[in-house]
Amino acid sequence: VKQCANVPLAIRAVGTALYGQDKRKWLSFQELGLGRTDVAADKIKPILKHSYLNLEPQLKICFKYCALFPKDFEIEKASLIYLWIAQGYVVVPSDKGQTVEDVGEEYFLILLRRCFFQDVVK
């Protein structure tokens, strides 16, 4: 918490990006200087960038797709997921027996947990 200057978004982004990762990932976070105590609210971009760079390729594509919408644009989760599906961005692993909608939902939740979406209405 101290290393993220008590900035909630930074804390959450770092926590979700490093959760379940090995020691090497944690050390790379420290080496990049992203965990300095002088991080301010306006300097969390490097933390979010680090979180983005550690996304799976399909998640990066889905997040980039969101750039088509204007800032603060509101879209229903299901609509966004169906747009990803229509573009062919959602890849269903053959061994899991999931539907494309289930995988799209997983993608959305991962991006939400990693702080790439704001103000999600339930």
∠ CA 2-55-57, rounded to 5° = 165
Q: Are 105 and 82 in contact (CB under 8 A)?
A: no
> CA–CA separation, 79 vs 94, rounded Å?
24
Is the whole model's pTM more than 0.75, yes or no? no
Residue 35 clears pLDDT 80, i.e. is over it: no
pLDDT single digits (tens) 54-89: 899 999 999 999 999 998 888 999 999 999 999 999
Return the domain boundaries, the chain: 2-53, 57-113
Q: Which two tokens stand for residue 107?
A: 């993608």
